[in-house]
A and B are shown apart, each in its own frame.
Chain A
Amino acid sequence: MDKFLVFTIVGLSLAAIYAVISSGLVLTYTTTGIFNFAHGAIGMLAAFAYWQLRFDWGWPAPIALAVVLLLLAPAFGLVLERVIMRGLQGTSEATKLVVSISLLVAMIGLANLIWTPGESRPMDTFFKGQKVDLGITTITYHQAITIVTAIVVAVGLRFLLYRTRIGVSMRANVDDRNLALLNGARPDRIGLLSWAIGSSLAAIGGILIAPALTLDPGSLSLLIVNAYAAAIFGRLRSLPLTFVGAIVLGLTEGYLAAYLPGENQYLAGFRPAAAAIVLFLVLLVMPNPRLRTRSQLREFFPAPSPSGMAMVAVAVVLAGVVMVTTLDTTSIISYGQMFPLAIVALSLVPLVGYAGQISLAQLSFAGVGAIVVAHHGGGGSPLGLALAVVVTALVGGLVALPVRRLSGIYLALATAAFAVALDRWVFNLPDFDIGPLHISLFQLGSTEIAPLKVFGYAFDTPSRLLMLSAVAFSLTALVVAGVRWSGFGRQLVAMRDSEAACATLGLNLVWPRLAVFMLSAGIAGLGGALYGMQLGSVSPERFNLVSGLPLFMLVVVGGAGLVGGALFAGIGLYGIIPLTSALFSFVAKINAVSPGLTGVGLGRNPSGVIPLVQEGVRPLRRDRVVLPAMAVAMVAVYALRQADAYGNWPFVALLLLVFVVANAVAGARARPGAAERRAAAAATSVGDLDWVGITSPWTSGHLAQLESAFAADGLPPMTVPGRSRAHDPSLPYGLAGTQIREWRGHEATPTAVATTNGHSAESSEEVVHGHARG
């Protein structure tokens, strides 16, 4: 009985902390629509800051608390809102999530930068060791303070939201943002206030829980998973239900700590994973979320062109060849991770880019693939790889099936919960049997993976494995591009844009969602299997949630709907970052934070980096002279490197130089041509005529065009007194505009256009000419 009471108190004080953290989360989510993955990380930074002030510098507790809770945390929240979050209106959930995930990653990096990891940083509880005797049991001051704090927060929030003017407009903003705007609410102020309060709440939670845990950036930041679970009880909206959720979770953890047999290997990991499992279960019983409608998303990803895809596939294989012929073995092993992890990143392209769904568990699926190939690889049989893909796809199906109704942030949370359950519990299980099936995982440590053998040829050296992964990436990339070209791909894209329209056209959304999730998991499984082969032996921490976040983030930063986005993630994380870190030590420090910072810029350009790059190299791609010349120059640079004329650094620098020069030359060559084309288009495009005199000066070309257009319609040509009229910018725009529109409305399907496939300027040109002839 005494044990029960003691752990009830433990559970309740945990509950109080979860309640405080998750109420901050709910507040910012409901008022600004941004689900802050970095909420826990704010608490983490606050705990570190408090430790610094209170224990390292020895400030008195009240002053240290006041500085952190009333100054640093709210200021941090204000800056976040003003600099980053405000720019995210109208972006997809994936983009919003990535921005907050990148913040999380950046903040962990920042904490590691300021507070060198590995040092012991003891943090005492408040009024250390002092207890209150409640008669039936005792409660420490710290526990009592924690519980009272939660109650004060609850009452305070209630007062704020129901009794103050700004609180009422916050609630109005949740109900209907536009209506609130019309009635004079100021969303910017509401946003600022929410983020300031939210940050302070996270800070309170972080400071209260830190003494119970070690002061470690990663584990403190991931407390957020427990807070999510509580918030999900209230469907991310209701504060009272969030408190209920926090109590359920806190007590569950308290009692598990008390009564779960600690020596049992199978159950040891269950308690840390309990919150994630509860989160997953609560998501299962959630009522159907509303279908996505009216998603005027700012992201746009064109379908890949076959020639572009072929170029990428060949370039990746060539890059592999260059790497294995120039690098030493250590570097091949290190940079060899690039391609298998780029395959894992590729698995996100159909899921996030095409279908607009989110999964944070791709690296966990990769872990499943690695396990399968480790235990059932048959000593490197290709069947083992195939099995890894199939089993991982099935596991993906098992995860997706129960949550098939969910999308967006809820699916993201479900997959995060799955990933946490896997890396805290399942991956650390010893072997077990389910009926006749013997399941073997990482065997409580690491597990060996045999390299692939095809027709007696073993991929048993780092170089061969690197080439294998490069080729596998190219082939998988072609498959992923093929999906986009298929009817299935079109359907996924359609679902991303409007679930409501798809459903009202007769589409059962469940099956495409399930199918794309399984496809994506299967690809991740392949990547994981190849990754495992490259490493030779794998352990669970390679595949945990936190390691997977930068990959997810960089795919979206690169461009989630593009194969290039996956390549960007793989090369960025496992190529450029280690490369530049090796170059200068200060870059290594910046690199701890830089992946996070790249994500933060996404609000400005939600389609990602790759479209910008594509735009930048377009002239080069089309240049029939410079492109081959560049290829020849690169081959020459490579040949000289092979002849040992110079080392690797000059080689890389020369390659870059050749590319930069070629791109500049191609750009210069394309420019006059492009200007001519634009002028021609402006002179002949009917659509642009609406804007003539407003965005461009009126020219004789426009007049000729108008005349031919009117002639085509059987109307008398416009009479213009003298040539000078043609250059008169004051020619009534309204007249030209309406008449052209009438003409278009009257004859909207000219035969000449039906056969054209080009862009609008070309089509319009044919419209005009077709009619002039007719």
Chain B
Amino acid sequence: MATLEVDDVSIAFGGHTVLAGASLQAEAGQITGLIGPNGAGKTTLFNIITGLLHPSTGRIRIDGQDVTELSLHKRARSGLARTFQQLELFAMLTVRENVRVAIDIRRRWSHERGNAAALTDAILERVGLAGVADERVTSLPTGQGRLVELGRALASQPKILLLDEPASGQDDIETERFGHLLQELAADGAAVVLVEHDMALVMEVCHQVHVLDLGHMIATGPPAEVQVDPHVLDAYLGTSRTVAVP
């Protein structure tokens, strides 16, 4: 049983079908890539998994338990955390406070005790933001803003981590460090789902890759297979087609 199961999910906005029966599984300890051209429905799928949108059909399961009807915060408490493609930082707070809010939220419902300040520092250290901990988040470049979102997501100690284009806005060296960080997180037992346009990163770190195109899941498999899949090449590059004339 996969940690996260997305089963046959569809949604349409005003007659425009964005997802048509998309399915996806993410296993603990693995990084699952979700790729596809712009407008394929990747972020919409994340919004459905986290509960920001409600699908017209399909189910979402976490550890086998159906969470499709759960509210956002209850889903999050069942072990789901995400970052946003368009940054959703707490702009009036510092980097440290952004992470601290997430820790406080978790402590309030989980009734865990422990040193919140130390945990905050540990997370900042892990994502490489200790040096800018007391800067206002809005003063950071986008790449570091994405790390703040990652740190915030980690603060809720998720089983499933949904990352929406986390490497955009980062340079090559930052991306490489980021790849290592993802591998560490997966090794710690998280099921990581990665939406990313940086193919080098996806192919390097992912165990499984799902390819979404115009709302349909057109390929699933290990990176090496997906890379040469004709449907995928077609979706990304387009191929010449012979149109049958009746």
Contact = CB atoms under 8 A, between A and B. Distances in A.
A39 B185 CA distance: 55
A508 interface: yes
Nearest to B131: A753
A294 interface: yes
A506 B77 contact: yes
Interface string A33-66: 0000000000000000000000000000000000
B190 interface: no
B90 A498 contact: yes
B81 to A, nearest CB: 7
Contact of B131 (A487, A502, A748): A748
Interface size for chain A: under 10, 10 to 19, 20 to 34, or 35 or more residues? 35 or more
B156 interface: yes
Nearest to A760: B135
Contacts of B177: 745, 748
B169 to A, nearest CB: 12
A490 B104 contact: yes
Interface stretch (A160-168, A296-304, A626-634): A296-304
A497 B171 contact: no
A502 B84 contact: no
A750 B132 CA distance: 10
B93 interface: yes
A753 B130 contact: yes
Given A508-B73, A745-B177, A746-B173, A501 B90 contact: yes
B173 A506 contact: no
B139 interface: yes
Interface in A724-766: 741-742, 745-746, 748-750, 753-754, 756-758, 760, 763
A505 B154 CA distance: 10
Contact of A503 (B73, B109, B174): B73
B148 to A, nearest CB: 11
Nearest to A747: B131
B101 A494 contact: yes
Interface in A486-511: 487, 490-491, 493-494, 496-498, 500-509
Contacts of B51: 503-504
A496 B12 CA distance: 29
Contact of B76 (A496, A503, A753, A756): A503
B131 A763 contact: yes
Given A490-B97, A509-B73, A745-B171, A501 B88 contact: yes
A506 B106 contact: yes
Could you say which of B81, B88, B104 has the most chain A C-beta atoms within 10 Å of its C-beta? B88
Q: Which of A295, A498, A508, A767 has the most chain B CB within a 10 Å cutoff?
A: A508
Contacts, number: 125
Contacts of B135: 760, 763
A407 to B, nearest CB: 15
Contacts of B221: none
B72 interface: yes
A291 interface: yes
Quick one: which of A300, A496, A745 has the most chain B CB within 10 A?
Answer: A745
Nearest to A293: B88
B103 to A, nearest CB: 9
**Contact residues of B: prevailing secondary structure:** helix
Interface residues of B, number: 46
B133 A754 contact: yes
A507 B105 contact: yes
Contacts of B88: 293-294, 497-498, 500-501
A493 B105 contact: no
Contacts of A297: 91
A200 to B, nearest CB: 31
Contacts of A487: 100-101, 104
B58 interface: no
B92 interface: yes
Contacts of A295: 91
Interface string A515-552: 00000000000000000000000000000000000000
B89 interface: yes
A605 B173 CA distance: 39
Nearest to A301: B92
Interface in B67-87: 71-73, 76-77, 80-82, 84, 86
B46 to A, nearest CB: 10
Nearest to A498: B88
A295 B130 CA distance: 26
Given A501-B88, A767-B131, A291 B139 contact: no
B73 A506 contact: yes
A313 B83 CA distance: 41
Contact of A500 (B52, B91, B106, B133): B52
B89 A497 contact: yes
A505 B134 contact: no
Contacts of B171: 741-742, 745
Contact of B174 (A490, A500, A506, A745): A745
A301 B93 CA distance: 10
A487 B106 CA distance: 12
B152 interface: yes
Interface of A: 291, 293-297, 300-302, 487, 490-491, 493-494, 496-498, 500-509, 561, 741-742, 745-746, 748-750, 753-754, 756-758, 760, 763, 767
Interchain residue pairs A-B with the least CB separation, the first 8: A506-B76, A503-B72, A745-B173, A501-B88, A753-B131, A498-B88, A494-B90, A497-B90
25 contacts: A291-B52, A291-B72, A294-B86, A294-B88, A296-B91, A487-B101, A490-B93, A491-B101, A494-B93, A497-B89, A497-B90, A503-B73, A504-B51, A504-B81, A504-B82, A505-B81, A505-B101, A506-B105, A742-B173, A745-B171, A745-B174, A749-B131, A756-B134, A763-B135, A767-B131
